[in-house]
Amino acid sequence: MLSFRLSLEPILLLGAMPVDLSWMRERYEELRAQGLDWNPPTLEAANEPRCVIDGKEMIMLSANNYLNLTTHPKVVEAAIDATMKYGAGSGSVRAIAGTMDIHLEAERICAEFKEVESSLIFSAGYTANVGLIPSLVRGPEDVIISDELNHGSIIDGVRLTKASKAVYPHNDMGALERVLQENQDSERKLIITDGVFSMDGDIAPLDEIANLAEEFGAMTFVDDCHGEGVLGDGRGIVSHFGLQGKVTFEIGSFSKALGVQGGIVAGSDEVRTHALNHSRSWLLSGSQPPGVAAAQKAAIEVLMNEPGHVSRLWENTSFFRKELVSMGFDTGVSETPIIPVMCGESSKAKALSEELRKEGVMVGAIVFPMVSRDKARVRTQMSAGLSREDIDSVLSAFDRCGRRLGLI
């Protein structure tokens, strides 16, 4: 009988040279010298309006948790119950043996909520964009037309294609029309825009985009990850403009206002079938845990049955923005719970962020190259879970820090 023995001693290859990874260190040092390296803070409890970060109690103004659903009892209980019933994982990719009835239930209620025929849930909004966009075009005979301030996941998805590409100035409908005219002979035309732009908090004129798309025979693709749970009574930007049935591809996220995790492609039955068969990021990704799928379903049910979360979010947003402006801060072109405080120079944005964190307010500085050199800002994000006392404390901190730094 043959026998085998596994040696646990390290295998030494004579003459082998270690791989030179010094370029990694050099690249990191370049980032650090410019102050562009990431050093994520550590949360030591749930991501709530008041939370503990690196050992200090903070008021959270940097989360996408707009409706404070991450700790909603119905969402948490659904995740626990499904985990006990189905197990911790799904055991396969969705396309082979990882689709459970709870996944289909989440997609069914998602489509009902979005007022479309069908939806397909991805592992994240990022994977929805990078998986779907390349499947919608072929080569240079097709054209993708994209807003200049679209999210990085859209940019990555577009880069994966061989289609012709055009970029129009931010929310400039005259420029978009000219680009469509210049490319009217393209076989497939795909217009892509964010719904709510994540750096400035402004909204795409989706009604005008849809009209131009209809005129020129183009497909429309909107990434509404920051609009779901916020606009259109929570249904998103398509509902906000009353455009149901007029937007070809609606991309969403469970990871923001809905408080869970995952991406959404919503549209017609044809869209779902196409995405299921041609989006490699869906076909080749592990199925989401059943507890996540159950929490997704529960989060939408909460949003449908408890409209007070959305109304509180907008009450907090309106009050906070009005008070910041009255103090003398510049909040840019924000129309949503994403409220930037414009600082101009990157050094001032970093200083304001650091001072606010010392005061117990968690915010992030957005600096070059994420934005242009003269448009650095501190980005704040409102939550329905913030009390008026919380917001008053934040406003007092902004007043003190803004005066110390000469911003007001």
Q: Which residues neighbour 208 within 8 Å (Cβ) at sequence distance 6 or greater?
A: 173
157-166 LR contacts (CB < 8 Å, sep 24+): 157/129, 157/130, 157/131, 157/132, 157/133, 158/133, 158/192, 160/130, 160/133, 160/134, 161/133, 161/134, 161/137, 162/137, 162/138, 163/137, 163/138, 163/139, 163/188, 163/190, 164/140
Measured in whole angstroms, the distance separating CA 124 from the mean position of its chain's CA atoms is: 9
350 belongs to the catalytic site: no
Name the active-site residue from 240, 256, 274, 375.
256
**Spatial separation of the C-alpha atoms in residues 300 and 296, rounded to whole Å:** 7
Q: Which residues neighbour 1 within 8 Å (Cβ) at sequence distance 6 or greater?
A: none
Name the active-site residue from 72, 226, 274, 348.
226
274 belongs to the catalytic site: no
Name the active-site residue from 62, 135, 198, 383.
198
72 belongs to the catalytic site: no
Which residues form the catalytic set? Answer: 198, 226, 256
